[in-house]
């Protein structure tokens, strides 16, 4: 049984051990011994997961900015909460944001905005005429202290 075969069966039964051995093989430049199929699968999944995570944070930021800016009927009671949520989501997003993930958000901002818009329309009972396109730049969305003028 070769190391690659051992790693393949380890992947199915002892993932953490598979991961530790894969890391060691990479560090030692023993690329021919890697379980390449599962390594590629894991890297692709990691990339998808990271992209989805930053999209979710951005969606939450947009939701709360829209509520803060446009839902004046609830502003008196919820403004501080919305601002705290915006700060929290921005902080979390900015902690792990790489240039690659930033590029991904730039490319997918319209899609993320559509999801956020759907949510806030439902939450506000469709009473507010929100902008059809995102009124915020990515830089504004990521800027820790930026808030829109209330509307």
pLDDT at 1 (0 to 100)? 41
Pinpoint the alpha helices (H) of 97-149: 99-123, 138-142
Rounded CA separation 92/137 (Å): 18
Q: How many CB atoms lie within 10 A of CB 106?
A: 11
pLDDT at 151 (0 to 100)? 65
Q: How confident is the model at residue 62 (pLDDT cuts 50, 70, 90)?
A: very high
Is the predicted pLDDT of residue 4 greater than 90, yes or no? no
Is the predicted pLDDT of residue 32 greater than 90, yes or no? yes
Query: CB-side exposure of 95: number of CA atoms within 13 Å?
Result: 8
Q: How confident is the model at residue 21 (pLDDT cuts 50, 70, 90)?
A: very high
Pinpoint the alpha helices (H) of the chain: 3-13, 15-27, 36-70, 72-96, 99-123, 138-142
């Amino acid at each position: 049984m070769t190391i690659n075969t051992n790693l393949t069966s380890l992947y199915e039964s002892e993932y953490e051990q598979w991961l530790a051995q894969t890391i060691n093989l990479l560090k030692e430049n023993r690329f021919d011994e890697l379980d390449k199929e599962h390594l590629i699968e894991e890297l692709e999944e990691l990339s998808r997961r990271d992209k989805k995570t930053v999209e979710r944070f951005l969606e939450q930021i947009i939701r709360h900015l829209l509520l803060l800016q446009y839902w004046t009927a609830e502003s008196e009671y919820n403004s501080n909460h919305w601002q705290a949520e915006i700060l929290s989501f921005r902080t979390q997003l900015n902690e792990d944001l790489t240039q690659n993930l930033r590029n991904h958000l730039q490319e997918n901002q319209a899609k993320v905005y559509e999801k956020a818009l759907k949510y806030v329309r439902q939450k506000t009972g469709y009473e507010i005429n929100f902008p059809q396109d995102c009124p915020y730049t990515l830089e504004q969305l990521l800027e820790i202290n930026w808030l829109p003028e209330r509307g």
